[in-house]
Structure 1
């Protein structure tokens, strides 16, 4: 792929899973540069880019939501994540908590205790990362929440007026959804459509190249490939 917005390759090690952000077992971190590129493309599709609501219906440990929250927090009033795995959601809640002053301070104190005891270079690097993240943590997001939910189920998520849905679908050998791979994406999009702000919203879905992302309530406005990933942008019909 050709980057349109993130032209320069920067150092995103502050957002590495397991450094400051918590590493949820059996989940993978999302590439920060790719995440920024996708978010930049999403924002250009909106009528307004302030006081937005962001939702990741397959958030896992909320690695994606958390680093997006750090880097784009001035755009968001509310950030939500959901997942079918309630155990992994405990890590998601801890990660989203880092977007608060008290949550990041508690993480800093924990890393300082670890460094005092073990004197590991990795803990020192993590402390340096926390200090840089503190400088990004100046604007408060009003609402941060993760909740258990099966987005490919028969009910809609318990939120509304969502502006950006950005999710990395389960695929590959680590995690997968049960049932038909076509049907669960169709049902997910049916549920998502019901919670969008139809006048100001965009859906960005990252998935395996073999997965089909199509639904009668949405117009596909753009798609590109990045390695094994396919990224599809959808606008809802009003």
Structure 2
């Protein structure tokens, strides 16, 4: 994939500033910025922009967009698993006034306690970062397939209550997430072994037609329902992504 919206840069220091946890994979910083830039090029208007991550985990994707993406006014993270959401709140708090300074102080304390230069370098990075946006943000427990719960989490997500402009979802790993579950797999979906097609289908019902959905998965491609044409498809390493208009998915 040719990067058009994310110049090459060393993001190791930013990675060190962000809080993460073992077993919680995150999108690379440059790929996150590139996918968001491509999606914005398909939106009918320029900023302000509301972004929703329906499986936000530790909130790294949303925080990266707030730090490096201009014109973002609102970030909303939801996840069916409450465990990583404290990390998401810690990361998104970096966007608040004084958030990066507080993180730098914490990293300085870790550097002194453990005598690790890497912590000191991360503290320096935190002090030099200037967020490109100053969005409001919120995080809530909500299964993307539970439209009532998600609708509550998204309430007031945009100034006109029209809903998010952009959805960027790094789909759950280790399980197959599809737009429409094959009939033979319906029982498995019902007993919780895999999310089934309700996941992305439910996401689309909460969006205005012109909104753009970016779905990222592992493998060669992210499948779409028959007859639905993507705006773009990209592949980077072992990841594939599809950009698609919400209205096209509703009609598909």
Name 2:10's counterpart in structure 1.
11
Aligned pairs, number: 227
Deviations, residues 140-161 of structure 1 (Å, cap 9, x unaligned): 21x2111111113464612151
1:28 match: secondary structure: coil
Q: CA deviation at 1:220?
A: 1.7
Q: Aligned partners of 2:131, 2:27: CA distance in 1, in Å?
A: 20
Q: Aligned partners of 1:203, 1:63: CA distance in 2, in Å?
A: 18
Contact 1:66/1:95, CA 8 A, preserved across alignment = yes
Contact 2:59/2:91, CA 8 A, preserved across alignment = yes
For structure 2, the residue ranges without an aligned partner over 5 or more in a row are 155-161, 178-186
2:42 match: secondary structure: coil
Please provide the CA RMSD for this pair: 2.7
The 1:213/1:122 distance shift into structure 2, 3 A limit, reads: same
Q: Aligned partners of 2:48, 2:82: CA distance in 1, in Å?
A: 28
The 1:176/1:220 distance shift into structure 2, 3 A limit, reads: closer
Match 2:165 to one of 152, 160, 163: 163
The 1:218/1:202 distance shift into structure 2, 3 A limit, reads: farther
Q: TM (normalized to structure 2)? A: 0.80
Match 2:144 to one of 151, 172, 177: 151
Contact 1:217/1:237, CA 8 A, preserved across alignment = no
Q: TM (normalized to structure 1)? A: 0.84
1:10 match: secondary structure: coil
Q: Aligned partners of 2:100, 2:188: CA distance in 1, in Å?
A: 39
1:87 match: secondary structure: coil
Contact 2:49/2:74, CA 8 A, preserved across alignment = yes
Q: CA deviation at 1:212?
A: 4.5
Q: How does 1:190-201 map to 2 (within 5 A)?
A: 190-199=201-210, 201=211
Name 1:125's counterpart in structure 2.
121
Q: How does 1:1-238 map to 2 (within 5 A)?
A: 1-6=1-6, 8-16=7-15, 19-72=16-69, 74-133=70-129, 136-137=130-131, 139-141=133-135, 143-153=136-146, 155=148, 157-158=150-151, 159=154, 161-172=163-174, 179-180=188-189, 184=195, 186-199=197-210, 201-209=211-219, 212-215=222-225, 219-237=229-247
Contact 2:147/2:206, CA 8 A, preserved across alignment = no
For structure 1, the residue ranges without an aligned partner over 5 or more in a row are none
Q: Aligned partners of 2:99, 2:225: CA distance in 1, in Å?
A: 39
2:8 match: secondary structure: coil
